[in-house]
Amino acid sequence: MHYWDGWGIFSLVVMGVGTVLFWALVVLAIVALVRYLQHTGSRASGPSPAEEVLAERFARGEIDEEEYRRRLQTLTEHRRR
């Protein structure tokens, strides 16, 4: 009696394709997780878009230092909530 009697080569092909698809999904899930973690990590550590606009306005001289610091404090307090 042969091991593959009754199943034929079709089952071997299906198992091979299934194994390849399984490992491809595992690799894709790991890549997606790493990208997600990198994206959330970089967002949390950098300044917000509002803080960047505020810094640009201060650099152009549109607002003075006192107003810059006051608005920056308001933004950072809002960010913590």
pLDDT of 60 reads: 94
Instruction: DSSP for 9-76, please give it.
Output: HHHHHHHHHHHHHHHHHHHHHHHHHHHHHHHHHHHHHSPPHHHHHHHHHHHHTSS-HHHHHHHHHHHH
pLDDT of 53 reads: 93
pTM for this one? Answer: 0.46
19-71 pLDDT tens trace: 999 999 999 999 999 999 887 765 556 778 888 999 999 999 999 999 999 99
